[in-house]
Chain A
Amino acid sequence: MGTAPAQIPTSFGHELRACLRCRLVKTYDQFRESGCDNCPFFKMDGDNERVVDCTTPNFNGMISVMDPARSWAARWLRVGRFVPGCYTLAVSEALPEDLQALCEEVHVQYVPPKRV
Chain B
Amino acid sequence: MSKGRAQVDSDEEEEEDEGEDDFIVETGADLPDEDVGRTTHRYPLLLRKDEQEDVEVLERSVQARYARSSHTEYDEETTNVEQQALLPSVRDSKLWMVKYATGRERETTACLIQKYIDKGSELQIRSVIALDHLKNYIYIEADKEAHVREAVQGLRTLFAAKIMLIPTREMTDVLSAESKAIDLSRDTWVRMKVGTYKGDLAQLVDMDNVGGRESL
Contacts and interface: CB of A to CB of B under 8 A. Distances in A.
Q: Which of B112, B120, B125, B141 has the most CB atoms of chain A within a 10 A radius of its CB? A: B141
Interface string A45-73: 00000000000011111111111001111
Nearest to B95: A73
Nearest to A10: B110
A76 B178 contact: no
Contacts of B128: 63-64, 66
B146 interface: no
Contact of A86 (B92, B110, B141): B110
Interface string A73-97: 1111110111011100111100000
Contacts, number: 147
B175 interface: yes
B110 A8 contact: yes
Interface stretch (B38-46, B54-62, B69-77, B190-198): B69-77
Contacts of A73: 95, 126-127, 129, 141, 175
Nearest to B178: A90
Interface of A: 1, 5, 8-9, 12-14, 16, 57-67, 70-78, 80-82, 84-86, 89-92, 107-109, 111, 113-116
Interface of B: 71, 73-78, 83, 86, 88, 92-93, 95, 104-107, 109-110, 112-114, 116-117, 120-121, 123, 125-132, 141, 171-172, 175, 177-182, 209-210, 212
